[in-house]
Amino acid sequence: MKVTEHITKANGKSLFSFEILPPLKGQNIQSIFDSCDPLMEFNPPFIDVTYHREEYEFKELPNGLLQKKIVKKRPGTVGICAAIQNKYGVDAIPHILCGGFSKEDTENFLIDMDFLGIENVVALRGDAVKSETYFKPEKDGNEYASELVSQITNLNKGIYLDEDLQNTAATDFCIGVAGYPEKHMEAPSLDSDIYFLKQKIKNGADYVITQMFFDNKKYFDYVDKCRAAGITVPIIPGLKPISTKKQLNQIPHRFSVDLPDDLVMAVVKAKDADAIKQIGIEWCIAQSKELVKAGIPVLHYYSMGKAGNIRQIAKEVF
């Protein structure tokens, strides 16, 4: 079922969903099931599965040449989506990126998803890998998420890259895209960011999932700005509980997200790691309850493969 259909069917009830990332290469899928099992009692209508580009570094050889060495891999998005749908009977939503894909790679990926009965995808540009200062699109690939959305929309119309194909079958994907309540880190302003979000909607996107935020006012203000700009699709809030003191520095740096002073100081003054984790859980519970009270259709949690704190939050909210 499509995400938009799940929202309609819920008839005003706030739904619970979460996101997982594939295990590092060499690990097995049981780690995925271990992170999903504790959360299934909250009846998630869908589970997002991220896609990760290979990360690599360059090593200098004795002859002075540079050798490209892959240092981190997280393959398996397609297989994980199939396994989740088979094991749990819920919709799995793969993320698909511009980075690392040619347009033909994208088309083949989408064909695989269609054959597996997957009805939703999240279309993302993707971030620059560590070896890049700025994002570089794949040769013959989509440069922006809006272009990727257009390609998926074309496939939904039966328009393939090979114009000579006859009697083509149309796909029927529901397309999600990312939104940034505090603007994307590369955007010059929030208004310009919303302008380009509107382009993604115009090109065929059906719903938005936001970057994490820790101040609900920023989400509500963002939704108001999007509505004023003519964006009418569902805007699903993305939530993540703070769990370590390191995240006070990592999250603002990596995601360009502000942390409220009250949250920061509570974590700074916490006596140990368990206390920090509990502070993060309680803050996210308060966020979640306010969002549910406001009638937000879906709350989406970034679990990062760790179900314990998300489960504690869900028990109090759903």
Residues 51-65 pLDDT 10s: 866 544 555 666 666
Tokens 């999600």, residue? 176
Identity at 165, one-letter amino acid code: L
Q: At what angle do helices 145-156 and 190-202 cross, to 10 degrees?
A: 10
CA atoms of 36 and 42, how far apart (whole Å): 11
What's residue 71's pLDDT? 46
Q: What is the C-alpha separation between 57 and 147, in angstroms, rounded?
A: 29
pLDDT in the model for residue 99: 84
Q: Show the tokens assigned to 188.
A: 């010059």
In order of their start, the domains of the chain are 3-317 (3.20.20.220)
The whole-number pLDDT of residue 236 equals 98
> What is the reported pLDDT for 63?
63
List, for the chain, all residue ranges whose pLDDT scores fall below the cut of 70.
Answer: 52-74, 127-137
Phi and psi, residue 48, nearest 5° = -85, 140
pLDDT of 56 reads 46
Res 72: pLDDT: 46
